[in-house]
Structure 1
Amino acid sequence: MPLLAQLPMMKKIQRTLIELANIHRFVMRFFREVFMPPYEIKEIIRQCYVVGWKSLPLISLTGFITGVVFTNQSRPSLAEFGATSWLPALISIAIIRALAPLVTALIASGKVGSQIGAELGSMKVTEQIDAMEVSGTNPFKFLVVSRVLATTISIPILSFYTAAVGLFGAFLSVNQHEDTSFRVYFDQVFEAVTYLDVFSLVLKAVVFGFTIGIVGCYQGYHSSKGTEGVGRAANWAVVMSMFLVFIEEILIVQIIQAMRA
């Protein structure tokens, strides 16, 4: 009985190991294909438009609210110690180091990751990927490489935009209570931010963007047949992207802290 009871667990472990091996091969294939011609520049630009420009309204609203809410939550605590003058510095460090790339990645995981998974999953189900192979087009190059590069390029840009919108929202909140001028506020912001903070934002955003793109493409490219497979691909693209983003956040924070030491 104990041996029989262990069989389902062994099968789950086996499936997990097989899945990890498939993901590893998928990532390695991406790095092989990305440097080989043809370079699908038009498709990359189109995907950057889809990932970046079409995400701006949601990113703008989320970034603005993040800045306002964080300021409103932080100000009373600092006021207890008479340290509200430190509010711009605290806000800038928090937004640029952590909130901007993380919020952007989570929004992109839900919007872009699911879209990529569903789109490629639908193409898999309708055999469009097979048709591209028959016609002589490299579907991996055209569909996967272009989308992963687009997310890797767009997420850092969106993260800087989120930081700018968040800092502006925070300024409006600070100005409402402290009557701080725009120039004084941003002078304190730029004094508090270091090059390592900016590097942290860029590093996180690039890693997050690559992760969202590669996970969404993998789930869609290897989705099972039928409409259920498409839904599962979109769902797992979001779940796995968010999970990996949080894991990467922890690891990158440890790396940045080691660099500060």
Structure 2
Amino acid sequence: MIFYYLGEYILLLKKVFKRPEKWRVYWKEIMHEMSEIGVGSIGLILIISTFIGAVMTMQIAFQLDSDFIPRSVIGQINRDSNILELGPTISALVLMGKVGSSISSQIGSMRVTEQIDALEIMGINAAGYLILPKLIAGVIMVPVLVIIAIVCALVGGLFGGVLTGAVTTNEYVQGIQGNFNGFTVAVAMVKAFVYGFIITSVPAYKGFHVRGGALEVGQAGTRAVVIGCITILACDYIITASML
């Protein structure tokens, strides 16, 4: 069965990437989706990333409570953890729950109310018109949100460490700057790009092929989030294993 669904998913993507009829119409939809996916999720990413960074600093300080380990190591570990893993992956899982369920419900509702059938009868590539703007917006805005998440996590780690007395400002900043490897940022951006594609394509597939009524639309949204989260974690392992 998994090969059936995988083939159905690939055939849908083939329709999605078919040449658009009018780029001007698609461009307007892309701008709208970028606002919905990116701007609409900034607040949630800010709050979650800031608290994750603060908690990480306190936990690292607790585990490295030794006179032989410099306190600047706390900032260094927090930096690398957030860039490589927590920033991209946690943000992607949160966005899958917020954005993914919305996309699946939106497209699924159009399917059960026969709006997609009406588009196809009029000769419009419904898959491309409904899904392609979301895919483009996802692969553009998710990396931007990941960058914001990383910055907020580092700032939150600074405030969390200073307020609890776990580390001073100079020690934390010294740890962030010391032994920095720019390749970690490249790995994070590759993850963010792949996650953006998954966050938009998997829920769109589940919504596009839903059958039934309102109950099935809700069930499709739940399955889309579960499958999307599992796919994100699997891709996280593959990218980490291949690039690091």
Aligned residues: 240
Spell out the pairing of 1:76-225 with structure 2 (5 A cutoff): 76-80=62-66, 82-83=68-69, 84-176=71-163, 177-178=165-166, 180-181=168-169, 185-225=172-212
Letter in 2 for 1:195: G
When structure 1 is superposed on structure 2, of 219-228 and 186-195 the one drifting more is 186-195
Is the contact between residue 124 and residue 225 of structure 1 (CA under 8 Å) also seen in structure 2?
A: no
Q: CA deviation at 1:175?
A: 1.9
TM-score by length of 2: 0.92
Higher Cα radius of gyration: 1
Of 226, 233, 236 in structure 2, the residue corresponding to residue 246 of structure 1 is 233
Unaligned runs of 5+ in 1: 1-14
Matched residue of 1:79: which SS? coil
Is the contact between residue 75 and residue 172 of structure 2 (CA under 8 Å) also seen in structure 1?
A: yes
Question: What residue number does 1:6 align with?
Answer: none
Deviation digits for residues 178-234 of structure 1 (CA, Å, limit 9, x no counterpart) = 56336x644531334322101011000000110111101100000112112201210
Q: CA deviation at 1:56?
A: 1.3
Letter in 1 for 2:215: E
- Superposed CA RMSD in Å reads 1.7
CA distance in 1, matches of 2:180, 2:116: 47
CA distance in 2, matches of 1:113, 1:197: 27
Structure with more of its chain in helix, by fraction: 1
Percent same amino acid among aligned pairs?
A: 28
Deviation digits for residues 42-97 of structure 1 (CA, Å, limit 9, x no counterpart) = 10110011011111111111101110111111101112354222111111101011
TM-score by length of 1: 0.86
Is the contact between residue 113 and residue 237 of structure 1 (CA under 8 Å) also seen in structure 2?
A: yes
Question: What residue number does 1:68 align with?
Answer: 54
CA distance in 1, matches of 2:167, 2:127: 55
